[in-house]
C-alpha cells in the first residue's frame, strides 16, 4: 500500500484549562487553508458552547472513530480530526483507520455563542489528556471554546512544540472522496424520537473482534421505532456491522432524535452503506458506515466515471473558483453561474471531492466546501481500476464493435462490454460478482473512456 505522511505542527497541546469564569476548551490548529490563503495556525472561533457536556461527548465520539479500526484491529494509528469553519457552523470530521466509518459533528450556530465563526479548514490536536478532560465535563460547567491559538500565543511564541507524523494511506484519501458521492444518493428513511433511539442503539452489539456482527443486518421503520427484518425488503435500511455505531453510545443521554439515511432498497438488494445521525441540542453527530465491516469506502468505485473524463477535470477548475467554504453548495446555483448542466457540475464536484475539497451533508441534502491538504491527483494516480483501464487502452486491447457493444481482449480472454440504458455491463468475473454495485470494472471503464474520447 502506497503511503504518504501527514505532518501536524501545533503551538502547544490542546487542553481543557481552568479560567476565572469556568473552564476553557482550547483546540490547537495545525496548518490549514483560509480565504486569505494558507495559514500555519488558523483561528476559527472564540466563544462559548451552549451545551458543553453534549459537545464534549460528541467531540470524543469523533475522536473515537479517528482512533478506531473496526476490521483487522491492529495498533491504533489515526489522523487528528479535521475542523472546517463554514461561517455559520463548525464541522469536525474523522475517518476510521480501516476506512469503513466516517464521522462528522456539525456544531450549528445554535450550539455556539460567540462573535463569529471563521472560514477555512485545518486539523486540531486531540491527545489523551484532552480526552480525559473532556470526559469529566459536566452539564453545569460553562465551557469557553477556542479553535485556534490565542492572540498571546501568536505574538509571543517562537515555534511549534508539538509535532506529529502519521502515515496517510491512499485508501483514506479515496475514502473521503467516495463517501461524499455515495451519501449524495441517500434519502431520509426513518426518524425516531430520543427514547426509542436510546433503546435501539443500546441494544446493538458492541463487538469484540473481526466479524462479530455476522455481516449486514436490516432494519425497517415501524411507527416511531425501528424493528429488525431478516431480508432487504423495500423501505428497509441496511445496518452493516452494527457494532461500528459504538461511538454513538457517548451521546445517547443528550439525544433529541435519531435519523437514518440510505439508498433505495429492493427485495434482491445487496448490503449498502447508510448514515446514522443523532440530533443533539444545537448539534448533529453522523456516522456513515461502509456496506460491510471488511469493506472500506476506498474500493466502492463511485468516483471512477468522473475521474475518467477530461471534461470533468476542466469543469472542476471552473467550479472550484466559485467555492468559498459555503455550508451549502447548491448544484443549481453553480450550474447557473458556470453555464454548465447540473450533471456536469455534479461530476466536477465529484472530482473536487477526490482532493478532499467537497463533502456531503445528508441532513441538508447538500454538498459543502472544505480544503484538505491532499494532492489533487493522488486519488486518481493510485486508483487501481483506473490505472488498469488506461493500461488496457494503451495496449490497444479495446475495440468498439458498434454503438452498444465493445470487446476487451486480455491475454487469450475476450470480455464483452454492452451498453443499455446508459449503463455498461461486462462478462468478466468482477461484474458477475458485484453487478455494478462497486462501480465499473476495468473493462467497462476502459470502454467508457474510449467512447468519450471518440465522441
Residue whose grid cell is 451519501: 183
pLDDT tens, residue by residue, 241-299: 999 999 999 999 999 999 999 999 876 678 899 999 999 999 999 999 999 888 888 77
pLDDT tens, residue by residue, 164-194: 887 776 777 778 888 998 999 999 999 999 9
Burial of 418 (0-12, 13-18, 19+ CB in 10 A): middle
Annotated domain spans of the chain: 3-166, 178-299, 304-353, 383-454
Beta strands in 130-183, from DSSP E residues, in sequence order: 143-147, 162-169
* Nearest CA-CA partner of 102 in 192, 43, 186, 27: 186
Note the pLDDT of residue 79. Answer: 79
Q: What is the dihedral of CA 264, 265, 269, 271, to 10 degrees?
A: 80
What percentage of the chain reaches a pLDDT higher than 70?
89
- Calpha distance 334→351 (Å, rounded): 15
- Calpha distance 340→118 (Å, rounded): 30
In this predicted structure, the answer to whether residue 76 has a pLDDT above a threshold of 80 is no
Find all residues with CB under 8 Å of 217, minimum gap 6, and list them: 228, 238, 239, 240, 242
pLDDT tens, residue by residue, 352-393: 888 889 999 999 999 999 988 776 666 667 678 888 999 999
Show the CA angle centred on residue 312, arms to residues 90 and 33, nearest 5°. Answer: 30
Asked whether 101 and 244 are in contact (CB, 8 A), the reply is yes
User: pTM for this one?
Assistant: 0.89
Amino acid at each position: 500500500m502506497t503511503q504518504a505522511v501527514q505532518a501536524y505542527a501545533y503551538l502547544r497541546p490542546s487542553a481543557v484549562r481552568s479560567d476565572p469564569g469556568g473552564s476553557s476548551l482550547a483546540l490547537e490548529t495545525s496548518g490549514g487553508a483560509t480565504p486569505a490563503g494558507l495559514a500555519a495556525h488558523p483561528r476559527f472561533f472564540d466563544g462559548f458552547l451552549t451545551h458543553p457536556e453534549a459537545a464534549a461527548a460528541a467531540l470524543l465520539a469523533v475522536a473515537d472513530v479517528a482512533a478506531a479500526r473496526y476490521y483487522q484491529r491492529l495498533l491504533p494509528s489515526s489522523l487528528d480530526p479535521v475542523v472546517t469553519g463554514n461561517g455559520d457552523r463548525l464541522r469536525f470530521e474523522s475517518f476510521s483507520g480501516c476506512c469503513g466509518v466516517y464521522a462528522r459533528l456539525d456544531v450549528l450556530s445554535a450550539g455556539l455563542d460567540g462573535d463569529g465563526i471563521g472560514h477555512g479548514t485545518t486539523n486540531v490536536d486531540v491527545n489523551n489528556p484532552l480526552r480525559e478532560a473532556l470526559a469529566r465535563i459536566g452539564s453545569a460547567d460553562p465551557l469557553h471554546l477556542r479553535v485556534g491559538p490565542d492572540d498571546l500565543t501568536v505574538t509571543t511564541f517562537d515555534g511549534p512544540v508539538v509535532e506529529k507524523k502519521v502515515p496517510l494511506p491512499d485508501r483514506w484519501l479515496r475514502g473521503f472522496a467516495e463517501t461524499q458521492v455515495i451519501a449524495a444518493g441517500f434519502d431520509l428513511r426513518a426518524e425516531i424520537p430520543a427514547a426509542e433511539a436510546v433503546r435501539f442503539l443500546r441494544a446493538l452489539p458492541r463487538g469484540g473482534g473481526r466479524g462479530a456482527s455476522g455481516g449486514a443486518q436490516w432494519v425497517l421503520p415501524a411507527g416511531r421505532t425501528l424493528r429488525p427484518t431478516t431480508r432487504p425488503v423495500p423501505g428497509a435500511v441496511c445496518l452493516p456491522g452494527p457494532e461500528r455505531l459504538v461511538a454513538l453510545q457517548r451521546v445517547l443521554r443528550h439525544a433529541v432524535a435519531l435519523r437514518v439515511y440510505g439508498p433505495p432498497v429492493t427485495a434482491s438488494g445487496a448490503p449498502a452503506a447508510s448514515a446514522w445521525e443523532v440530533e443533539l441540542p444545537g448539534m448533529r453527530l453522523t456516522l456513515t458506515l461502509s456496506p460491510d465491516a471488511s469493506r472500506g469506502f476506498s474500493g466502492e468505485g463511485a468516483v471512477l466515471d468522473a475521474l475518467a473524463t477530461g471534461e470533468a477535470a476542466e469543469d472542476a477548475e471552473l467550479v472550484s473558483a466559485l467555492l468559498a467554504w459555503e455550508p451549502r453548495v447548491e448544484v443549481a446555483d453553480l450550474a447557473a453561474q458556470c453555464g454548465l448542466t447540473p450533471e456536469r457540475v455534479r461530476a466536477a464536484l465529484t472530482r473536487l471531492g477526490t482532493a478532499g475539497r467537497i463533502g456531503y451533508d445528508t441532513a441538508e441534502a447538500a454538498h459543502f466546501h472544505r480544503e484538505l491538504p491532499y494532492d489533487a491527483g493522488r486519488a486518481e494516480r493510485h486508483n487501481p481500476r483506473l490505472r488498469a483501464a488506461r493500461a488496457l487502452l494503451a495496449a490497444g486491447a479495446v475495440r468498439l464493435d458498434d454503438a452498444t457493444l465493445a470487446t476487451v481482449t486480455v491475454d487469450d480472454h475476450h470480455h464483452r462490454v454492452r451498453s443499455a440504458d446508459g449503463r455498461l455491463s461486462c462478462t468478466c468475473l468482477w461484474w458477475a460478482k458485484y453487478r455494478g454495485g462497486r462501480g465499473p470494472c476495468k473493462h467497462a471503464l476502459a470502454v467508457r473512456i474510449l467512447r468519450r474520447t471518440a465522441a
